[in-house]
Structure 1
Amino acid sequence: MTEKLTEEIGKITGTAKTFTDEAGKVVLDRFRNPYILTFLISWILFNWKPISFFIFSKGNVEYKIKFIILHYSHSSHYFFFLLE
């Protein structure tokens, strides 16, 4: 009974490892794409204030998300940056 259970656990673990390895390869391939990497860098540079607030501020996640939505997600912010 325990041998069969151990065998099944080994199969599940092997499947999970294969899945995570394949997912990791896909993520690395996408980051090697120059268009995606350029977009990611420009997005981080454009949104550095809400990102830094989310990472470094005190408080729970709900407070941080509500603050970011209230102060950084209005469409006039984006139009203002585009017109400068």
Structure 2
Amino acid sequence: MIYRNNFIVFVLSFFISILLYSSHVLLPFMFGPIIASIICVKVFKLDIKWPFLLSELGIVLLGVQIGSTFTKNVVMDIKTIGFRLLLYLFRYY
């Protein structure tokens, strides 16, 4: 039963990722599985359990995916707008 649910998440993740990729959405292969997991848990009410090793591998891959977008130019842009960004983030506190 659990393996069937994981397979459903995998197939749905694949198709959503391809849809996001063809729509030119940023990081489609990161957001596809997240959206598929939310759909399976909230809409289909499936019980999803992943082996510990797979979940840890997913976290590492997510970190690499996000970290690879931080180039020297991005860091310099953050540095130039950093103070204004902090003011914007904490304007209601």
The alignment's TM-score, normalised by the length of structure 2, stands at 0.36
Larger Rg over CA atoms: 1
Going by fraction, where is helix more abundant, 1 or 2?
Answer: 1
The alignment's TM-score, normalised by the length of structure 1, stands at 0.39
- The structure showing larger relative contact order (alpha-carbon pairs under 8 Å, at least 6 residues apart) is 2
